[in-house]
Amino acid sequence: MTTPAPATAKGASTRGMLLGRACELAARLGLEGVSIGELASAAGMSKSGVFAHFGSREDLVRQTLDWAAGSFTTQVLEPALRQPRGLPRLQAMLDGWIGWILDHPEGCVFLGAATEYDGRPGPMRDHVAELLERWRLIVERAVAMAVEEGHLRAGTDPALVSYQLHGFMYALHHMRLHQPQADVLARAAVRDLLDRLRAGAGPARSPR
């Protein structure tokens, strides 16, 4: 495997540009469609110029996924963490998540990768699963904090609520392609769920 050249300020800037383009390719073609040649064409660079930044195609694909994860953290998680603990933070997290999906009309790299690598054992599938599990636990913890702060009803199951919220977002990701009101429905579904779970609300029937 060829080792990429050491990073410089200019090199880091070019690398960031390339990974951004690679994410755009992944949204359209899937991560398996991301290659040195495709990226060179999209970026208007030579293959050798692109290859200098990545040791292999596998390295490019993994770094594309990690770059997308970093962008998600910056755009969705970090702003939410600046909100007060509990329901304000959870709501900010969910608003940001919906915004992320809507801001990527060609598809969310993570949800696309989950489908693409499902049933394909290997390092990339493991890495995709690791990133998705990390986010699931973050959402679950945010729900738990809302319960601890007294914003959601005592006895609320954080794992179940996280599962339900993921279902809403997965539905939004797919239905926005053919349902013009998908974003409105997603926000309404989130609002309805959280309203039913608010402290002081009447008892909700468990789906279990």
Q: Indicate the pTM of the whole model.
A: 0.84
The predicted pLDDT at position 171 comes to 94
Q: Which of 57, 58, 174 shows the shortest CA–CA distance to 112?
A: 174
For the chain, domain boundaries: 83-197
Distance CA 176, CA 43 (A): 28
Percent of the chain whose predicted confidence (pLDDT) is above 70 = 91
pLDDT at 183 over 60: yes
The predicted pLDDT at position 11 comes to 66
DSSP state of 32: G
Q: Which of 116, 94, 106 shows the shortest CA–CA distance to 169?
A: 94
pLDDT at 16 over 60: yes
Tell me the C-alpha to C-alpha distance, in Å, between residue 64 and each of 26, 35, 155, 176, 193: 8, 11, 40, 24, 34
The string of DSSP codes covering 117-178 is STT--SHHHHHHHHHHHHHHHHHHHHHHHHHHTTSB-TT--HHHHHHHHHHHHHHHHHHTTT
pLDDT range class, residue 51, cuts 50, 70, 90: confident
Which H/E stretch holds residue 105?
none
CB environment 97-108: b (16+ within 10 A), e (fewer): bbebbeebeebb
The predicted pLDDT at position 202 comes to 53
Tell me the C-alpha to C-alpha distance, in Å, between residue 122 and each of 38, 58, 118, 119: 23, 12, 10, 9
Find out if CATH 1.10.357.10 is the number for domain 83-197.
yes
The predicted pLDDT at position 208 comes to 44
pLDDT at 173 over 80: yes
Counting every residue written for the chain, the total comes to 208
